[in-house]
């Protein structure tokens, strides 16, 4: 198809019943549902989509940017949004659509992304909280985990925090902001009395980086990983055994910055 018009769609989704964003064979994905709805709403107008990144199975997004390539112009963007939301599954929402330029690159142009990882520990929580919070049964030392989180700030060789890095993978990464504190934003009547959130901001992330960072912090907080070994990991030393990969259900892609 020849693309003459370019749009950015800002979407949200709860990832708990999806096998990630990108289309897969024999699996329910967010992209599959989005493109099926686009096909219905646009009718005979050919289209293509390109997402700003990917999220894995069970991972949610408060903000995902998807570029929409069209042969014909949308006549009414507000009506398009309404039609999309009338037909999308209840766990996917289109927040807005806006025109962009032909040379805009939705993958390469983001300046920063923010991920949040929500979790609790100790007594098992109400099952209704499972789509939003990861649960760890150990009694975690939160102050130790907060110390560990601060060690990620700045530029480090984070090769230990990338799942199956390739030869060309850039493992020298800079964490611009990180905070681990009590969760006061995402709440529900069925949540445990206390839950926590790790917020991380960086220009980009490697495969499973946040979940591996969280896994190392959990082991640090449960005394399964010493401070000295933790610091070696952050300085680029590969572990003798794989780092614990924290569950996906606590992870949310929260924001994407293009300016």
Place of tokens 């032909």: 102
Beta-ladder partners of 12: 93
pLDDT at 25: 87
Per-residue pLDDT at 245: 97
The per-residue pLDDT for 241 is 85
What is the pLDDT at residue 169? 87
Residue-wise pLDDT for 217-239, tens only, equals: 999 999 999 999 999 999 999 88
235 sits in the region (left: phi over 0; alpha: psi -120 to 50; else beta) called alpha
Q: What is the pLDDT of residues 23-49, one digit of tens each?
A: 998 899 999 999 999 999 999 899 999
The whole-number pLDDT of residue 132 equals 97
pTM score of the predicted model: 0.95
Provide the 3-class DSSP secondary structure of residue 134: strand
Query: Which pLDDT does position 191 carry in this prediction?
Result: 97
Delineate the domains of the chain, giving CATH numbers in brackets: 5-99 (3.30.70.580), 112-257 (3.30.70.660)
**Which long-range contacts link 170-176 to residues 24+ away (Cβ below 8 Å)?**
171/206, 171/236, 173/202, 173/204, 173/205, 173/206, 173/209, 174/202, 174/203, 175/200, 175/201, 175/202, 176/112, 176/201, 176/202, 176/203
d(CA 118, CA 191): 11
Q: Report the pLDDT value the prediction gives residue 108, as an integer from 0 to 100.
A: 81
Counting as low any pLDDT under 50, the low residues of the chain are: none
Residue 206 tokens read as 């490697």
């Amino acid at each position: 198809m020849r693309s003459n018009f370019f749009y950015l769609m800002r979407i949200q989704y709860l990832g708990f019943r999806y096998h990630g964003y990108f289309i897969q064979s024999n699996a329910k994905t967010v992209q599959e549902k989005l493109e099926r709805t686009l096909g219905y709403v646009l009718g005979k107008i050919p289209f293509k989509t390109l997402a700003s990144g990917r999220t894995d199975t069970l991972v949610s997004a408060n903000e995902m940017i998807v570029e929409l390539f069209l042969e014909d112009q949308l006549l009414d963007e507000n009506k398009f949004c309404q039609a999309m939301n009338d037909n999308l599954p209840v766990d996917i929402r289109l927040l807005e659509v806006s025109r962009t330029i032909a040379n805009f690159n939705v993958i390469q142009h983001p300046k920063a992304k923010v991920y949040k990882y929500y979790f609790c520990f100790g007594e098992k929580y109400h099952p209704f909280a499972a789509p939003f919070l990861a649960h760890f049964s150990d009694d975690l030392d939160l102050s130790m985990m907060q110390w560990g989180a601060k060690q990620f700030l700045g530029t480090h060789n984070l090769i230990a925090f990338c799942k199956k890095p390739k030869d060309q993978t850039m493992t020298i990464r800079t964490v611009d902001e990180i905070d681990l504190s009590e969760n006061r934003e995402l709440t529900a009547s069925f949540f445990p009395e206390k839950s926590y959130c790790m917020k991380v901001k960086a220009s980009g992330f490697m495969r499973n980086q946040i979940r591996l960072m969280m896994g190392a912090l959990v082991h640090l907080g449960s005394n399964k990983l010493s401070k000295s070994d933790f610091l070696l990991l952050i300085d680029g030393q590969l572990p003798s055994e794989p780092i614990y990969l924290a569950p996906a259900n606590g992870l949310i892609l929260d924001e994407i910055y293009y300016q």
